[in-house]
Structure 1
């Protein structure tokens, strides 16, 4: 049975969920503006928000309306009571899992990071990783309790892992980077922590964070493309982050756009990642320069110095990434693509070729889609895992059912 959060939200109706979501993602926001954006009456908004204010999740403080923007104004100088979430009313833990480290954060209700903790992994064996995950979560909880600030109870733990993840059941079905197949992370970690556990694909978690607390707040549609050791894509279309009927969506890195003689880490041939991931670029430069011990920093330095072999590897990566972006934009039509991840450090080396290939293959008005660079650290990935917990908590989704 799903665990109940230690501090359940007083939300009894879909209208209450909608109102709290607006306050959380768009606040401070007056009741009149929530009514306008949701189509609810002001009386319905007031009814939905009253128990949230009484329980300490939301607050309203009068400020001059001139301090608000857009539709929030109801008359210059006239006092209004914008609604805002009380950040410290709850706490959330998010963890990004990589083959070499666990990156953990504690956030407040607005996904603001309070504490950060990085711990190395000596093994990717599932049992060992779960034990280290539990230890890290307990350490972060202990830091919350010992801190001087007022903090709310931990309502759940989010875990972000690369690969094919069954979010509903908390199972990592296939993660080539971790070497995992059918690992019941939520069940194993939940036994140790006695807290709700949300397990999700790492790029999808990053997309949820952008949807609720980043560029997606005001966007009708967008995609997040991550470039690094792997290449991932999260999609926000028609008002929701796309999960896919079978839990798989946005696998940009596994589109078959590269030469068919190249074998991917997933075992298939011709995937975008075989040419455009940071590992693929480095291996190509090592091979063509006859420098087998070269590291990525050295490869980037060679490319910046104009080495033709290094430049060729980055140009080839830019060509394939641009083609993959065009294919994705042609299919789903987002207004914005955010390019993020550890691979953005060398973005300038393939940007021109990527944009050229995108322009060549984007169909019609799809070429108007904006490509925006947004730097992310591993802490941001962990924050994304926490954001998935916040979303499930507000919506009352498994495993945080009310």
Structure 2
């Protein structure tokens, strides 16, 4: 497999240059005056930061074709040249690997899906390597080098060390994924928790653009939460900040795979809902698809299971808002397929648990396919490439 330079990177060697680049990446095209206003840098500092980035071709003047529909733009704004570099992002789920090829602006150019039949690290690594090779071949058609690989995995992930400490859905412990993937692909590798990776993409390119404080809550196989506080993605001293799925909200509730009881995930995760539907209906419900179908058919036991899940999610969101006071909470994840079944319970439980004006927090839903999670992995690779890891 081909390798790419591990030393070339965006010449954003100062905090000011990194700030300018990420500001233009998220909000551009922008004039230099707009950059100065958004970053609170002086005009001279902006000029100094922009110059090497333009000389290297990462920033250019003028509006690209994809942005020309934005009327009233100034004639010569500064923008990121998305075609200057390519990145690969990979999201690993319990039963599928999704890989995307993106440009420097994190726009998906090519996407690949591969069923995951063996969760053993070596088998997953081989599958990732195969997908990366396919996307490297696709990249040849663009005539641009792939500069980094981002991998997104659920669970306790140490981004600094590049190690998956514990991933319950893959049953992995202490897997040095960054080193292993770097060896087989020859690419610089960034490994992060999948929800945090998706949070990075939302912060730069999605519903979190322009917000200094927001939370991304994901519902589905697990219950996750990515946090942005004062413009920085928060991982915490031990790398597990935002694990609201393991808030114990019912001491007498069902056991959780983490060892505690009554965790949000043990009530509202897909497998927990399926178990609950089996218990209350006595039917041999095999998976979340069958549970969802049963609830939509009006089965009272199945509807109760989803209502219970919604209450748990709403209480967890209330806890996040009470503690951090974000401007917005974005709810996403594959579990939104059942949103109509528990939306009311989420709203009611949130309103009941949010303290005072915290209840005014903007809570919105944003369905995102797994390709967007892989795009989040690519966003972490872009972060590493331009030297702006916001942790």
Same fold (TM over 0.5): yes
Structure 2 CA distance for partners of 1:320 and 1:6, relative to 1, 3 Å: same
The equivalent residue for 1:230 is: 222
Question: For residues 314 and 134 of structure 2, what CA distance do their matches in structure 1 show?
Answer: 42
- In 1, Cα distance between equivalents of 2:204 and 2:75: 24
Query: What is the alpha-carbon distance in structure 2 between the residues aligned to residue 381 and residue 87 of structure 1?
Result: 19
1:106-138 deviation per Cα after TM superposition (whole angstroms, max 9, x unaligned)? 100011000101112221111111121112111
Find out whether 1:213 has 2:205 as its counterpart: yes
Q: 2:149 aligns with which of 141, 146, 157?
A: 157
2: distance between equivalents of 1:68 and 1:41? 27
Question: For residues 122-137 of structure 1, what are the structure 2 equivalents within 5 Å?
Answer: 122-137=117-132
Mapped to 2, the partners of 1:337 and 1:396 lie a distance apart of: 24
SS at match of 2:24: helix
After superposition, where does 1:252-331 map in structure 2 within 5 Å?
A: 252-331=244-323
- CA distance in 2 between counterparts of 1:56 and 1:125 reads 42
How much has 1:49 moved relative to structure 2? 1.3
Q: Residues of 2 paired with 1:62 and 1:356: CA distance? A: 45
CA–CA distance in structure 1, aligned partners of residues 144 and 313 of structure 2:
43
Structure 2 alignment gaps of length 5 or more: none
Out of 324, 327, 351, which is 2:343 matched to? 351
Name whichever of 157-166 and 43-52 sits farther off.
43-52
TM-score, normalization by structure 1: 0.91
- When residues 301 and 101 of structure 1 are mapped into structure 2, their CA distance, relative to the original with a 3 A threshold, is closer
* CA positional deviation for 1:6: 5.9
Q: CA deviation at 1:259?
A: 4.8
CA distance in 2, matches of 1:324, 1:372: 15
* Structure 2 length-normalised TM: 0.93
1:2-401 residue pairs with structure 2 within 5 A?
A: 5=6, 7-61=8-62, 80-145=75-140, 147=141, 150-395=142-387
Bigger mean CA deviation after superposition, 200-209 or 128-137: 128-137
Q: Which moved more, 1:107-116 or 1:259-268?
A: 259-268
RMSD value, Cα:
2.1
Match of 1:76 in 2: none
Check whether the contact 1:205–1:387 (CA below 8 A) recurs between aligned residues.
yes
Given that residues 172 and 183 in structure 1 are in contact (C-alpha distance below 8 angstroms), is that contact kept between their aligned partners in structure 2? Answer: yes
Answer yes or no: is the 8 Å Cα contact 2:106–2:375 preserved in 1.
Answer: yes
